[in-house]
């Protein structure tokens, strides 16, 4: 089977791309779906921050500049088993994504590569799109975000990159929200994931443990599970942090301090 390269993109910023990318990678890492996560947001990298890894010496920027190979930039996240190429937190001006396609082509060992991307319609985002075999477009259920999503869908069409579907995040089921059918119709694209607003999401980011591990039964975790299943075409089992293990003890401690039940 050909390697999949999935770009997680959005028109508007702050709609949940990095959260979704990190949680999908967590679920893939717990299954036999062989995935590499890449932080394609070189201006505001946040994948490493979600995972609590920021002491890496190298990042995607160094790979794009040809200083190191992609394999040399891969970091193994101990708690989840995610393999990730983080972006370097040090600011590098004018990083070109032009080499991304070539970099991705050279990575042979993975069934799937997931790329978190910066928001918007910049040339950088276009380069990421062109390096992907399919895209997942993230939006929240409001007019500004959905309007931006339509531009991304149009841009993808211009570049002939298939859009696998929309993920609607932060759903609160209030009357003022756009309905799912309205969003599908405005974007002319199928919704493949519906993620509810969940207070455990910011809590999990604060403690740097992906939600699907931190609170596997929370509503957003269940939705991430369904999305992961939809993407890889096979059931991904729900993660369970063991109560006994060290990680389970840490998770229980954070949950009791931060979130109550």
Ligand X SMILES: Nc1ncnc2c1ncn2[C@@H]1O[C@H](COP(=O)(O)OP(=O)(O)OP(=O)(O)O)[C@@H](O)[C@H]1O
Q: Give residues in contact with ligand X (CB under 6 A).
A: 10, 13-19, 41, 44, 46, 119, 169-170, 195, 197-198, 201-202, 205, 220
Min CB(245)–ligand X separation in Å: 26
Return the sign of the alpha-carbon dihedral for residues 20, 25, 31, 33: positive
Min CB(69)–ligand X separation in Å: 26
Q: Of 111 and 150, which CB lies nearer to ligand X in the complex structure?
A: 150
Q: Of 120 and 248, which CB lies nearer to ligand X in the complex structure?
A: 120
CA 34 from centroid of its chain's CA atoms: 15
Min CB(13)–ligand X separation in Å: 3
Q: Of 92 and 111, which CB lies nearer to ligand X in the complex structure?
A: 92
CA angle centred on 55, ends 111 and 214, rounded to 5°: 60
Residues in a beta bridge with 37:
84, 114
Question: Which region, judged by CB under 5 A, interacts with Mg ion, from 12-20, 32-40, 49-57, 160-168?
Answer: 12-20
Q: Which does 198 bind (CB under 5 to 8 A by kind): Mg ion, ligand X, none?
A: ligand X
Q: Of 205 and 232, which CB lies nearer to ligand X in the complex structure?
A: 205
Q: Of 30 and 46, which CB lies nearer to ligand X in the complex structure?
A: 46
* Three-state DSSP state, 253: helix
Q: Of 19 and 215, which CB lies nearer to Mg ion in the complex structure?
A: 19
Min CB(18)–Mg ion separation in Å: 3
Dihedrals phi, psi of 224, to nearest 5 degrees: -65, -40
Min CB(40)–ligand X separation in Å: 10
Min CB(72)–ligand X separation in Å: 25
Question: Is residue 145 involved in binding Mg ion (CB under 5 A)?
Answer: no
Helix (H) / strand (E) element for 76: namely strand 75-76
CB distance 150 to 186 below 8 Å: yes
Q: Cα separation of 73 and 85, whole Å?
A: 6
Q: Which does 162 bind (CB under 5 to 8 A by kind): ligand X, Mg ion, none?
A: none
Q: Of 34 and 92, which CB lies nearer to ligand X in the complex structure?
A: 92
Min CB(170)–ligand X separation in Å: 5
Return the sign of the alpha-carbon dihedral for residues 261, 21, 228, 12: positive
Paired tokens of 66: 């040809």
CB distance 8 to 138 below 8 Å: yes
Helix axes 246-254, 200-207, angle to 10 degrees: 120
Q: Which residues are CB-contacts of 58 (< 8 A; sequence separation ≥ 6)?
A: 67, 68, 72, 73, 88
Site string for Mg ion, 16-45 (x = CB under 5 A): -xx---------------------------
Q: Which of 54, 40, 24 has its CA nearest to residue 208?
A: 54
Using CB under 5 A as the criterion, which residues of the chain lie in contact with Mg ion when the complex forms? 17-18, 46
């Amino acid at each position: 089977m050909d390697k999949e390269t999935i770009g997680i993109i959005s028109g508007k910023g702050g709609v949940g791309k990095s959260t979704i990318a990190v949680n999908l990678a967590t679920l893939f890492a717990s299954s036999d779906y062989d995935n590499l996560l890449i932080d394609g947001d070189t201006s505001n990298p946040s994948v490493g921050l979600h995972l609590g890894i920021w002491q890496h010496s190298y990042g995607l920027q160094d790979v794009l500049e040809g200083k190191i190979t992609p394999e040399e930039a891969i970091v193994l996240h101990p708690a989840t088993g995610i393999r990730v190429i983080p972006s370097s937190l040090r600011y590098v001006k004018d990083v070109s994504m032009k080499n991304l396609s070539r970099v991705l082509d050279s990575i042979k060992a993975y069934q799937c590569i997931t790329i978190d991307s910066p928001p918007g319609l910049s040339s950088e985002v276009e380069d990421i799109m062109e390096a992907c075999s399919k895209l997942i477009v993230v939006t929240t259920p409001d007019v500004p975000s959905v309007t931006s999503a339509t531009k991304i869908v149009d841009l993808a069409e211009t570049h002939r990159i298939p859009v696998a579907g929309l993920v609607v995040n932060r759903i609160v089921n209030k009357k003022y929200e756009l309905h799912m059918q309205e969003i599908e119709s405005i974007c002319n694209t199928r919704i493949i994931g519906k993620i509810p607003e969940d207070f455990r999401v910011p809590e999990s980011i604060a403690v740097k443990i992906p939600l699907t591990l931190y609170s596997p039964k929370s509503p957003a975790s269940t939705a991430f599970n369904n999305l992961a299943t939809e993407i890889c075409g096979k059931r991904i089992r729900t993660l369970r942090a063991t109560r006994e293990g060290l990680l389970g003890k840490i998770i229980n401690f954070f949950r009791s301090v931060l979130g109550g039940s």
